[in-house]
Structure 1
């Protein structure tokens, strides 16, 4: 694997925000930035591949503008621009990401629950990629680096790859890490039907908090500079992460690897957070 950060660009405001986010990440890691454009038949009216290098073409002007912006804001960064012609942009992005540490794409998400606003390419790349994929909404480009990093934790099966990524991101940003475990009390049957057992809620809260503490054991020693906030709450996992994303620099969720490529392999929590989060969202594959 080549040590680099890969950003997919298509000329949209979201992909430009993703390119700037990726540039900041590449600078923090001390690695080159790769800007990749997958050119399809929709790009330009002229079909010849060499036209992409022509700054007079729409694609050429777009690539030059993004590259120029990145070089102006990050003059010491090694920036490489690549163009691949294909009608399968997801396959190209996933394959190219295998040669990098991270894939960064733009997201059309506007925050809240107004609609499902992540593009199909971003969803598919996040679902099938072998490296962490970050989706960046245009509105999130100017978020302060010191804001907290939020990570969703499955206390029954905590994923080391997800936690390691989240801790690393917090350490690089000198930010606090908020580890979120959202849970719902099991219902009991009463005269009013199935209801949450209010009398036993505190007992369940203690158990769930202990599980979260156990899941975080050892990570503070590995990342001693990161302040950890354990956030155990009665809530839906997706709703909690979306709410917290309003004040976060980054939200980190996990996605299980599958032995096949059929279907979108995103779980319901990752899927909902990608659509509705206000902040960039990192989807980290894990076993």
Structure 2
């Protein structure tokens, strides 16, 4: 299957990091490894991937002064030349990859969402976690994630070469099942272990006369563990060559996933938002993960959206 990445481009270091991540798929299992999709090569392989395409999408929204970009003129010509230079450099460094560039006028989020389909992976660069704390919580990445129709990779400005493992959150929902499939595919492509994280919290006690004992909590944990085991059982036949690690964590889902992904190569989460109104709010876990970004994050919609 042809792997197609669309990289949001605005000529800064964050966009360059996103581009480098996408181009890293030139070699299966390479240092820039991310989502590979179906038809991935064997675990840990460095074989050049055939059919890989990367499109740089530059959106002319507002200029450095906050004014709407003109339809033509020196500023547009400069943006075009800059994009052509980046495309040429990418082609020279990755001759096996088909690299193209496109400039469009419009609202950044709207144009990025327009390119989000099940047939490609949208890739955006992001601030690192320290910078996130002082930024607006509704970043471009979070706003796009709420409306995606296909996979969205958000790549923070962190060193990726020394990282290992694919982390995925599983909660028994259809969106987390799909996220697990994506994570397993990536584990196969890169030869990485897939850490399946399921978080749970002890329920509140509303009846003063009843105090749960240890056996009750053990039963709860066993129930939650079965959720993960059932999810893995659904993909184990197709991914017999992938190593899975279970992690049942007593914590909120967002905290558990962020902690588990501190040194991970990638974190995969499902996006529950399906209806138009819900898309604006995005799943709270997905939003928290994007805000607290500690590793590359792949957000997977539960299904194609209309």
**SS state at 2:233 partner:** coil
- The answer to whether the 8 Å contact 1:35/1:80 transfers is yes
Give per-residue Cα distances to partners, 1:242-264, cap 9 Å, x unaligned: 11111111101111242325652
1:210 is displaced (CA, Å) by 1.9
1:25 is displaced (CA, Å) by 3.4
Give per-residue Cα distances to partners, 1:43-77, cap 9 Å, x unaligned: 699835365674xx2x2454245334423432321
The answer on 1:229 being equivalent to 2:245 is yes
Question: Counterpart in 1 of 2:60?
Answer: 39
RMSD: 3.1
Question: Counterpart in 2 of 1:70?
Answer: 90
1:267–1:75 Cα change, 3 Å: same
Structure 1 CA distance, aligned partners of 2:217 and 2:193? 28
1:203 is displaced (CA, Å) by 2.4
Question: Counterpart in 2 of 1:106?
Answer: 125
1:158–1:214 Cα change, 3 Å: farther
Among 229, 236, 245, the alignment partner of 1:213 is: 229
Q: For 1:116-127, list aligned pairs within 5 A.
A: 120-127=139-146
Question: Counterpart in 1 of 2:299?
Answer: 283
The answer on 1:161 being equivalent to 2:174 is no
1:275 is displaced (CA, Å) by 0.7
1:148–1:215 Cα change, 3 Å: same
- The answer to whether the 8 Å contact 2:118/2:149 transfers is no
**SS state at 1:233 partner:** strand
Give per-residue Cα distances to partners, 1:9-34, cap 9 Å, x unaligned: 11221111011112223654542110
- The answer to whether the 8 Å contact 2:84/2:101 transfers is no
Among 251, 254, 258, the alignment partner of 1:242 is: 258
Question: Counterpart in 1 of 2:280?
Answer: 264
1:184–1:196 Cα change, 3 Å: farther
Question: Counterpart in 1 of 2:216?
Answer: 200
Structure 2 CA distance, aligned partners of 1:117 and 1:69? 33
| TM-score, normalised with respect to structure 1 | 0.84
Once the two structures are overlaid, the 10-residue window that deviates more, 232-241 or 109-118, is 109-118
**SS state at 1:11 partner:** coil
Question: Counterpart in 1 of 2:40?
Answer: none
**SS state at 1:278 partner:** coil
The answer on 1:17 being equivalent to 2:17 is yes
Q: Which runs of 5+ in 2 are unaligned?
A: 29-35, 37-50
Once the two structures are overlaid, the 10-residue window that deviates more, 203-212 or 43-52, is 43-52
1:35 is displaced (CA, Å) by 0.6
The answer on 1:131 being equivalent to 2:150 is yes
Structure 2 CA distance, aligned partners of 1:150 and 1:284? 13
